[in-house]
């Protein structure tokens, strides 16, 4: 069991933050690693990359978007409630070193994944430029924490409600044109990561992305989280979740996730219809 000690609804209640008691995980977890959570005995196992850890308090922080039946069940859990199961830390941690100037690009709940990586890169002595994107300013998460972990900070909104009116790729192009960037880390929706990768590939800039394919056991046994990287099959749970962006088959990944989300929405609709009846 893993008790929720703090809960916050973000981005108009569509994104939920949970701080959870997990002393052993909080002591061992590294930036880029994830956990698998299960709401109840019959619930689905959901992989979520940790947004933060606090070894002193013995807690970890996860942030998720409500997109289907399982995450809707997660949302029902309040402070004092417990997740039925919590497993981690899983996956390979981010390799962090001082490489010079780096750019961290985040969108949606990918910002939560990006936060510990950005902070670690800054603490390692890198000069960090952060670019965050959202559809509108009221949907942006973790702004202050990301500002604190950055030397240069940019916000992009699709509707122009804050910062640059446009996409994160617009600002990324500008930064790459004027600065000698050693590495880019891009985490967010698949289209965002794909187009960031295309831009950096033209410039020959090393780029990392964190992938979120379908996952069940988190140990490489089920094979559900397979992705194609450099023409080879990799498992995101043990080989990743981070990969060289220039080698990832984003189109294949998008198709697999689209199929999963359609099934999840259908399940959620059926669940709601049963409630109504």
Within-domain flag for 194: yes
Boundaries of domain holding 167: 101-256
CATH number at residue 8: 2.40.30.10
**Residue 172: how many other CB atoms lie within 10 Å:** 27
Domain identity same for 7 and 141: no
For residue range 132-158, what is the model confidence (pLDDT) as tens digits? 999 999 999 999 999 999 999 999 999
Domain identity same for 118 and 251: yes
CA distance 192 to 82: 34
Within-domain flag for 273: no
| Residue 121, helix vs strand vs coil | helix
Within-domain flag for 64: yes
What is the mean predicted confidence (pLDDT) over 234-254?
91
Please report how many Cα atoms fall inside a 13 Å half-sphere around the Cα of residue 60, on the Cβ side: 30
Domain identity same for 80 and 146: no
Determine the number of helices (DSSP H) and then strands (DSSP E) in the chain: 8, 17
Residue 262 has pLDDT above 80, yes or no: no
Which long-range contacts (C-beta less than 8 Å, at least 24 apart) are formed by 76-79? 76/39, 77/4, 77/7, 77/18, 77/39, 78/4, 78/7, 79/4, 79/5, 79/6, 79/7
Q: Are 151 and 127 in contact (CB under 8 A)?
A: yes
Within-domain flag for 145: yes
**Residue 178: how many other CB atoms lie within 10 Å:** 8
Domain identity same for 163 and 85: no
- Looking at per-residue pLDDT, the higher value among 102 and 240 belongs to 102
CATH number at residue 230: 3.40.50.80
Within-domain flag for 263: no
Domain identity same for 175 and 151: yes
Cα–Cα distances in Å, from 155 out to 141, 212, 267?
11, 23, 35
Residue 42, classified by CB atoms within 10 Å of its CB into exposed (0-12), middle (13-18) or buried (19+), is exposed
- Looking at per-residue pLDDT, the higher value among 273 and 199 belongs to 199
Question: Which two tokens mark 99?
Answer: 């490489």
Domain identity same for 11 and 132: no
Q: Residue 182's beta-bridge partner residues?
A: none
Domain identity same for 122 and 150: yes
Among 64, 90, 116, the domain boundary falls at: 90
Domain identity same for 162 and 188: yes
For residue range 14-72, what is the model confidence (pLDDT) as tens digits? 899 999 999 999 999 999 999 999 999 988 888 999 999 999 999 999 999 998 888 99
Query: pLDDT band for position 160 (50/70/90)?
Result: very high
- Please give the tally of structural domains in the chain: 2
Among 59, 90, 121, the domain boundary falls at: 90
Question: Which two tokens mark 118?
Answer: 């950005």
Q: Which residue has the tokens 């933050």?
A: 17
Within-domain flag for 142: yes
Domain identity same for 83 and 105: no
**Angle in degrees, CA 29, 92, 86, rounded to 5:** 50
Percent of residues, the chain, with pLDDT higher than 70: 93
**CA Rg, the chain, in Å?**
18
Which residue, among 239, 176, 11, has the nearest Cα to 110 in the 3D structure?
A: 11
Domain identity same for 84 and 218: no
Q: Are 175 and 181 in contact (CB under 8 A)?
A: yes
Domain identity same for 123 and 252: yes
Within-domain flag for 233: yes
Among 37, 57, 90, the domain boundary falls at: 90
Domain identity same for 82 and 106: no
Within-domain flag for 269: no
């Amino acid at each position: 069991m893993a008790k929720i000690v703090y809960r916050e609804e973000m981005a108009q209640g569509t994104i939920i933050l949970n701080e959870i008691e997990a002393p052993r995980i909080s002591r061992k977890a590294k930036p880029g690693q994830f956990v698998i959570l299960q709401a109840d005995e019959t619930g689905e196992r959901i992989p979520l990359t940790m947004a933060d850890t606090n070894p002193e308090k013995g807690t970890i922080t996860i942030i998720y978007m409500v997109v289907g039946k399982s995450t809707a069940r997660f949302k029902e859990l309040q402070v004092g409630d417990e997740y039925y199961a919590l497993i981690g830390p899983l996956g390979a941690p981010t390799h962090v070193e001082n490489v010079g100037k780096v750019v961290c690009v985040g969108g949606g709940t990918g910002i939560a994944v990006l936060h510990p990586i950005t902070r670690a890169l800054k603490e390692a002595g890198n000069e960090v430029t952060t670019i965050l994107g959202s559809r509108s300013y009221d949907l942006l998460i973790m702004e202050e924490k990301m500002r604190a972990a950055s030397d240069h900070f940019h916000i992009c909104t699709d509707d122009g409600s804050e910062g640059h009116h446009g996409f994160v790729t617009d600002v990324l192009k500008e930064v790459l044109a004027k600065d000698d960037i050693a590495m880019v880390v891009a985490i967010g929706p698949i289209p965002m990561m794909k187009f960031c990768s295309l831009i950096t590939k033209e410039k020959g800039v090393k780029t990392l992305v964190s992938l979120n394919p379908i996952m069940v056991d988190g140990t490489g046994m089920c094979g559900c989280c397979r992705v194609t990287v450099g023409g080879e099959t990799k498992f995101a749970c043990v080989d990743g979740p981070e990969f060289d962006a220039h080698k990832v088959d984003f189109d294949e990944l998008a198709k697999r996730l689209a199929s999963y989300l359609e099934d999840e929405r259908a399940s959620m609709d059926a669940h709601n219809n049963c409630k109504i009846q």
